[in-house]
């Protein structure tokens, strides 16, 4: 497995791909499969690790020396590898934010070098040649490009490649040339077929995700529903997110039987006997807010308003539902909440509906700066809204445990993990019935779902569903209890996922 993230290692997680790369190898190992996992070294010097060797690659017309390390893993069937180079660790984080006009520039260069080093490590036998190479998202796509087009790797050209698309909206597009972060700048001597690699909307640009989709033996979408949605063109005006320009390539691969939809799994550890309480949640929130505040010399408005709101919550007992939401603030996640609804935002209307039932809404997440500002201002307007701009593991876990209803109105969701974590804790979810949300949440069975053929219909559906859901909780506690039990009893096991990987993706 080759990826940019891996939550089996510290500080190597940004999103759900890190959970998959952490958990899937364990499930595969339990079925007797030996798994090597490789990511860049973002600064893992403090870990116990074994030096395997150096590789030299020609990158940007200069020799670059990279080092391969193996990090000890308790599971004898799993080898955790990292590839070290100053370019990977200099930013101190997994991903970088580039200036406007040069999206992905820094990261695309970083992952192109990482891909070249991985290919060289395979060629030299520093990493055992696998029966299947499992690439994750656009960050590892250059591996497929090099193996198929660089004659140096001819002996590896027939390696079976499985490619997982975690989020089709992020494709890593860069120019073919005339930029220091471009395919020809990285690999000036590479002969390639531009028809396979170009972006269909910007033919002068290299599209890593499209490249891997066209070059892989199997293309994996992370839920059955999402694997059909991506075969259709996106229509943003109607609120539909599909193939994002790559639908024709995916249709072609699907016609050849190469596209598979396998839902990601969720781990189900033994229950933690420690009882989470509201008072403990508020303590965690206050502690986390203070830590966030301390990182900035000037007090941020969002943290000040959140702290004041938390104190109000703390001093006023709640006698209605606690609605929760945990996730990154991106258009994908909150587009519907940011639509105009009457004279206000849909988010304001959501707060109004929750307030009718004397409830509160707590949202944990960060991301897009403009969206963070919108949510901060909404918090100031709505006395029953607490928006926590950031992420804290303890707070997230507490919200899963304490919430009465988990809100996840994503415009698209390839798979989703937050709804699985909420359900695992016995918290029913209210979701937009798309992608993995449709595959995991069944309306009035283990949760609640809405849909709509346009943005306006989707927002209307959200409001109607939220009102009906909170009314059901208030008026029919027996049915609510059954739905809650069904949510808690739902299982999306990695064991089943691993079996599907072996039978559908690795052969």
pLDDT (tens digit per residue) in 381-429: 999 999 999 988 899 999 999 999 999 999 999 999 999 999 999 999 9
Classify residue 443 by its DSSP letter. Answer: B
**415 Cβ neighbours under 8 A, 6+ residues apart:** 16, 166, 222, 223, 226, 263, 264, 435, 436
Question: Mean of the pLDDT values across residues 305-312?
Answer: 98
**Residue 336 pLDDT > 70, yes or no?**
yes
pLDDT digits (tens, 9 = 90+) for 126-167: 999 999 999 999 999 999 999 999 999 999 999 999 999 999
* 450, 464 Cβ separation under 8 angstroms: yes
pLDDT score at 91: 85
pLDDT digits (tens, 9 = 90+) for 158-214: 999 999 999 999 999 999 999 999 999 999 999 999 999 999 999 999 999 999 999
Residues spanned by the domain of 139: 16-223
pLDDT digits (tens, 9 = 90+) for 343-374: 999 999 999 999 999 999 999 999 999 999 99
Question: Mean of the pLDDT values across residues 303-318?
Answer: 96
**Residue owning tokens 């590898």:** 81
Please tell me the distance from the alpha carbon of residue 373 to that of residue 178, in angstroms, as a whole number: 36
Long-range Cβ pairs for the range 503-507 (8 Å, 24+)? 504/218, 504/260, 504/262, 505/132, 505/134, 505/162, 505/218, 505/220, 505/260, 505/262, 506/131, 506/132, 506/134, 506/160, 506/162, 506/218, 507/132, 507/160
Please compute, for residue 186, the number of CA atoms within 13 A of its CA located in the half-sphere on the CB side. 24
319 and 206, same structural domain?
no
Q: Is 456 in a helix, a strand, or coil?
A: helix
Q: Is 399 in a helix, a strand, or coil?
A: helix
pLDDT score at 15: 87
**Residue 270 pLDDT > 90, yes or no?**
no
pLDDT score at 76: 86
Other Cβ atoms within 10 Å of 380 Cβ, number: 14
pLDDT score at 272: 66
pLDDT digits (tens, 9 = 90+) for 33-51: 999 999 999 999 999 999 9
Question: Mind giving me the DSSP string for 86-125?
Answer: HHHHTTSSSS--PPTT-TTHHHHHHHHHHHHHHHHHHHTT
pTM: 0.94
307 and 186, same structural domain?
no
368 and 282, same structural domain?
yes
Q: What token pair was written down for 28?
A: 């595969």
In a domain, 255, yes or no: no
In angstroms, how far is CA 131 from the centroid of its own chain?
27
Please tell me the distance from the alpha carbon of residue 12 to that of residue 5, in angstroms, as a whole number: 5
pLDDT score at 273: 58
pLDDT digits (tens, 9 = 90+) for 486-498: 999 999 999 999 9
> What is the count of structural domains for the chain?
2
* 283, 314 Cβ separation under 8 angstroms: no
210 and 142, same structural domain?
yes
Torsion of CA 114, 117, 118, 121, to 10 degrees: -160
In a domain, 46, yes or no: yes
In angstroms, how far is CA 66 from the centroid of its own chain?
28
In a domain, 264, yes or no: no
Give the pLDDT band of residue 68 (cuts 50, 70, 90): very high
φ/ψ of 38, rounded to 5, equals: -130, 125
pLDDT digits (tens, 9 = 90+) for 250-262: 999 999 999 999 9
316 and 168, same structural domain?
no
pLDDT score at 219: 98
418 and 301, same structural domain?
yes
Give the pLDDT band of residue 476 (cuts 50, 70, 90): very high
Q: What token pair was written down for 122?
A: 């395979």
In a domain, 507, yes or no: no
**Burial class of 344 by CB neighbour count within 10 A (0 to 12, 13 to 18, 19+):** middle
438 and 355, same structural domain?
yes
Question: Mean of the pLDDT values across residues 469-474?
Answer: 98
CATH classification of the domain holding 143: 3.40.50.2000
CA-based nearest residue to 267, from 23, 6, 21: 23
Please tell me the distance from the alpha carbon of residue 505 to that of residue 253, in angstroms, as a whole number: 13
**Residue 504 pLDDT > 70, yes or no?**
yes
In a domain, 353, yes or no: yes
Q: Which residue stretches of 135-277 are H helix?
A: 141-149, 183-186, 194-197, 208-215, 224-229, 247-255
298 and 204, same structural domain?
no
Please compute, for residue 266, the number of CA atoms within 13 A of its CA located in the half-sphere on the CB side. 19
Kindly report which listed range (13-17, 208-212, 283-287, 333-337) carries the lowest average pLDDT score: 13-17
In angstroms, how far is CA 76 from the centroid of its own chain?
28
292 and 195, same structural domain?
no
In a domain, 179, yes or no: yes
**Residue owning tokens 């359900």:** 423
In a domain, 231, yes or no: no
162 and 92, same structural domain?
yes
β-strands 174-175, 205-206: how paired? antiparallel
Classify residue 128 by its DSSP letter. Answer: P
In a domain, 41, yes or no: yes
123 and 196, same structural domain?
yes
Please tell me the distance from the alpha carbon of residue 231 to that of residue 354, in angstroms, as a whole number: 37
Query: With pLDDT > 70 as the criterion, what percentage of the chain qualifies?
Result: 100
pLDDT score at 100: 83
Q: Is 341 in a helix, a strand, or coil?
A: strand
Other Cβ atoms within 10 Å of 315 Cβ, number: 8
Q: Looking at per-residue confidence, does 223 or 93 come out higher?
A: 223
395 and 305, same structural domain?
yes
Mean per-residue pLDDT of the chain: 96
Query: With pLDDT > 90 as the criterion, what percentage of the chain qualifies?
Result: 94
CA geometry: angle at 252 spanning 192 and 37, to 5°?
65
Give the pLDDT band of residue 285 (cuts 50, 70, 90): very high
pLDDT score at 235: 96
């Amino acid at each position: 497995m080759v990826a940019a993230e891996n939550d089996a290692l510290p500080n190597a997680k940004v999103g759900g791909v890190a959970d998959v790369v952490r958990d899937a190898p364990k499930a595969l190992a339990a079925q007797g499969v030996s798994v090597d996992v490789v990511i860049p070294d973002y600064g893992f010097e403090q870990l116990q690790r074994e030096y395997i060797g150096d590789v030299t690659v020609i990158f940007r017309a200069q020799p670059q020396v990279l080092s391969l390390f193996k990090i000890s893993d308790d599971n004898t069937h799993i080898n955790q590898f990292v590839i070290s180079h100053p370019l990977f660790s200099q930013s101190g984080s997994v991903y970088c934010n580039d200036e406007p006009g040069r999206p992905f520039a820094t990261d695309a260069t970083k992952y192109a070098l990482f891909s070249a080093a991985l290919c060289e490590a395979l060629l030299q036998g520093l990493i055992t040649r696998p029966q299947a190479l499992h690439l994750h998202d656009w960050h590892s796509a250059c591996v497929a490009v090099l193996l198929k087009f660089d004659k140096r790797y001819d002996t590896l050209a027939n390696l079976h490649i499985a490619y997982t698309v975690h989020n089709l909206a992020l494709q890593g597009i860069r120019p073919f040339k005339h930029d220091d972060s471009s395919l020809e700048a990285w690999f000036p001597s590479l002969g390639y077929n531009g028809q396979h690699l170009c972006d269909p909307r910007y033919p002068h640009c290299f599209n890593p995700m499209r490249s891997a989709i066209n070059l892989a033996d199997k293309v994996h979408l992370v839920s059955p529903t999402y694997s059909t949605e991506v075969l259709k063109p996106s229509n943003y005006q109607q609120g539909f997110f599909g193939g994002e320009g790559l639908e024709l390539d995916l249709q072609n691969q699907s016609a050849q039987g190469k596209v598979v939809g396998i839902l990601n799994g969720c781990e189900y550890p033994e229950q933690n006997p420690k009882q989470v309480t509201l008072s403990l949640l508020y303590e965690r929130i206050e502690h986390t807010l203070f830590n966030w505040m301390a990182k900035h010399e000037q007090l941020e408005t969002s943290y000040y308003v959140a702290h004041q709101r938390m104190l109000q919550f703390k001093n006023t007992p709640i006698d209605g539902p606690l609605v929760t939401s945990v996730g990154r603030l991106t258009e994908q996640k909150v587009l519907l909440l940011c639509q105009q609804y009457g004279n206000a935002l849909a988010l304001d209307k959501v707060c109004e509906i929750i307030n009718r039932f004397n409830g509160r809404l707590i949202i944990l997440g960060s991301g897009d700066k403009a969206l963070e500002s919108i949510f901060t201002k909404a918090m100031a307007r709505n006395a029953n809204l607490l928006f926590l701009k950031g992420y804290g593991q303890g707070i997230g876990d507490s919200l899963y445990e304490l919430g009465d209803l988990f809100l996840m109105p994503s415009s698209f969701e390839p798979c989703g993990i937050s709804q699985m974590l909420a359900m695992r804790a016995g918290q029913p979810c209210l979701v937009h019935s798309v992608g993995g949300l449709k595959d995991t949440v069944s309306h009035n069975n283990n949760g609640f779902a809405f849909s709509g053929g346009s943005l306006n219909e989707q927002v209307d559906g959200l409001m109607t569903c939220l009102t009906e859901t909170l009314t059901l909780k208030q008026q029919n506690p027996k049915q609510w209890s059954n739905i809650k039990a069904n949510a808690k009893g739902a299982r999306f096991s990695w064991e089943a996922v691993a079996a599907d990987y072996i039978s559908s993706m690795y052969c």
